[in-house]
Amino acid sequence: MNVLLISPPIFDFYHSPHRAEPLGLLYIREALINSGHTVTILDATDSRRSKDQKIPQELEYLEEFYELDQSLFSLHSHYKRFGDSFDKILKEINGKNYDIIGISSLFSAYHPDVERLVKRIKETFDIPVVIGGTAITAQGEEILNNTAADYLIAGTGTGSMPALLNALEKKISLHQVPGLICATKDEVIINEFSKELDLNIIPKRDNFRTFRRKKLAKTIFSTGCKNHCTFCSIHRHNEHQLRDISSIQDELSLLLKAGVEIVDIEDDDIFSNPEHTEEILKILEEFHHLGLTYVAMNGMTAVNIRDFAERLVAVGFIKLDLSLVCGSASAGKNMNRPHGLDAIIEISDKVRHKAEIEVFLIPGLPGTQLKDTLSTMLELHSLGIKCGLSPLYLVPDVPMFEKTGIPKKKRLLRGSALYPFDDETRKNVASLLKIARFLNYLAVERESENYLENLKYFKKSLERKKWFRKTHEGSWIDSFDFSLVTSDILPTIF
């Protein structure tokens, strides 16, 4: 069969293009090719296009936070489409004689826009459409009631997509397709999904993202996670598997030959197995001597790497992204989170000035307090460590969040929505984001005239508990207020 796989455009206030390589679709394409099919990937975000969009009604309350602002502590300003338009995608489909179209839906908050694309495709072409991805794994049965797609696939797609094509060719029954969710004229089919991925598939690459002006490629050395953090769905939907060392070696060799300079290892629980880790480090060092360097942008758990952090730098890691989540040991323990602020301090002491460290926190997570998040931010800043904030968002099919109440409007299920906070908490979370933005700026720049002007209005904003923002014309005007206690920030920073 002639198959098209689409990585759709993203609709949000911000997007990280260097993290958007459609690795899952690359794996599925390879599995389909190995089954005798012809496969094309249409990666909509590869164009790097962006265009302002009308903000959806359910997100209009965010307009007071995402304003036009030229300050060094601004938030994002416009709701945008990142990637190609639906019209361009339809034009790419036209005349290509595709037998089936697969579309990835990797985030519940973006699923409404995936459905808009599917609707346009179905209105224009008589081609079956299947949607797969984590949004389907989390809410597939609910989505079935409102989808324009012909089929949904939950779980991993490397086995399910070839099986679906076999079923469409009448080689097997639809009931034999793992993770298939669909409604025929006779019945509703909901099959158990697979949690396993064929880790030894080595996908061929057509396009590469860049990071810091160097060619970047994503890979995985394992799937799943041995931790059972209460706010995460990874351990619920994926088996913990370790990839064969020979397969890792073969892929790094191919990436090196393709001119890749930075490899982003996207594991959810990287370096958690000591024996596997030791073998991986030897291979990473070997390829580092040949020119590869590494990042792990999906985050590493500090306690996993505290004993060999210096070695990570030696084998080629240029940045250590550490997922702390919260600074409170008691809160972390209650969430089954392997806590690691002490480990982060130890790692910082070991690799200071040798590799950049960025630590990620989740402000607003149940069981934590925003004042504690701020305190952790200030402690990290005092250590010269960059702090990244990922505001809480509700994850469907996670008991902790299901108890909170998953909203019907899926666009609210994103960090940029600052949901489910009340008005006061929302303003304080947005304020933490602004403070983090400026702290990270301070870490690299303190001398320019622009800095001094911004510092003046940053201080004034903290003192009066009402933010300033800077217009295109250079005027400083009022923005939103907040109630977060910030009196201890000024002496700590300045």
Query: Which tens digit of pLDDT belongs to each residue from 260-288?
Result: 999 999 999 999 999 999 999 999 999 99
Residues 379 and 421 in one domain: yes
Residues 125 and 231 in one domain: no
pLDDT score for 235: 60
Domain boundary among 190, 224, 245: 190
2 sits in which H/E element: strand 2-7
pLDDT score for 446: 65
pLDDT score for 277: 96
187: exposed, middle or buried (C-beta count within 10 Å: 0-12, 13-18, 19+)?
Answer: exposed
Report how far apart, in Å, the C-alpha atoms of 253 and of each of 98, 250, 288, 295, 492 are.
33, 5, 11, 17, 48
Residues 140 and 288 in one domain: no
Question: Could you tell me if residue 213 is left (phi over 0), alpha (psi between -120 and 50 degrees) or otherwise beta?
Answer: left
Contact of 443 with 417, CB cutoff 8 Å? no
Compute the mean pLDDT over every residue in the chain, rounded to the nearest whole number.
92
pLDDT score for 330: 61
* Average pLDDT value for residue range 18-26: 94
Residue 427 backbone dihedrals phi, psi, to 5 degrees: -65, -35
pLDDT tens digits, 188-222: 999 999 878 888 899 998 889 999 999 999 999 99
Report how far apart, in Å, the C-alpha atoms of 34 and of each of 6, 248, 304 are.
19, 19, 36
Residues 119 and 249 in one domain: no
pLDDT score for 419: 95
pLDDT score for 486: 81
Looking up residue 172, the CATH number of its domain turns out to be 3.40.50.280
* Average pLDDT value for residue range 470-478: 96
Q: Range of 167's domain? A: 2-48+83-190
Percent of residues, the chain, with pLDDT higher than 70: 95
Neighbour count for residue 204 (Cβ, 10 Å): 10
pLDDT for 224 beyond 90? no
Residues 308 and 364 in one domain: yes
The model's confidence at residue 230, banded by pLDDT at 50, 70 and 90, is: confident
* Average pLDDT value for residue range 412-425: 95
Q: Is there a domain that residue 228 lies in?
A: yes
Q: Is there a domain that residue 462 lies in?
A: no
pLDDT score for 114: 98
* Average pLDDT value for residue range 318-323: 94
Better-predicted residue by pLDDT, 225 or 307: 307
Spatial separation of the C-alpha atoms in residues 25 and 396, rounded to whole Å = 23
pLDDT score for 334: 65
pLDDT score for 240: 85
Percent of residues, the chain, with pLDDT higher than 90: 78
Residue 274 backbone dihedrals phi, psi, to 5 degrees: -55, -45
Report how far apart, in Å, the C-alpha atoms of 45 and of each of 56, 102, 400 are.
20, 16, 32
pLDDT score for 333: 67
Residues 288 and 244 in one domain: yes
pLDDT for 448 beyond 80? no
Residues 172 and 261 in one domain: no
Q: Which residues of 336-345 are buried (b: 16+ CB within 10 A; e: fewer)?
A: ebbbbbebbb
Q: Is there a domain that residue 73 lies in?
A: no
Q: Is there a domain that residue 59 lies in?
A: no
The encoded tokens of residue 455 equal 């510092």
The encoded tokens of residue 459 equal 């201080």
Strands 10-12 and 80-82 come out as antiparallel
Q: Which residues of 165-186 are buried (b: 16+ CB within 10 A; e: fewer)?
A: bbbbeeeeebeebbbbbbeeee
Residues 273 and 163 in one domain: no
Residues 233 and 184 in one domain: no
Q: Is there a domain that residue 370 lies in?
A: yes
Report how far apart, in Å, the C-alpha atoms of 443 and of each of 197, 295, 356, 370 are.
41, 21, 11, 22
pLDDT tens digits, 359-381: 999 998 888 899 999 999 998 98
Q: Is there a domain that residue 475 lies in?
A: no
Residues 259 and 387 in one domain: yes
On the question of a cis peptide bond just before residue 420, with omega within 30 degrees of 0, the verdict is yes
Spatial separation of the C-alpha atoms in residues 484 and 480, rounded to whole Å = 12
* Average pLDDT value for residue range 465-491: 90
Residues 275 and 423 in one domain: yes
Strand ranges inside 260-355, DSSP E = 262-265, 293-295, 319-325
Furthest C-alpha separation in the chain: 72
**Cα atoms in the Cβ-side hemisphere of radius 13 Å centred on 224:** 20
* Average pLDDT value for residue range 306-318: 96
Residue in 197, 161, 208, 164 with CA at minimum distance from that of residue 5: 161
pLDDT for 490 beyond 70? no
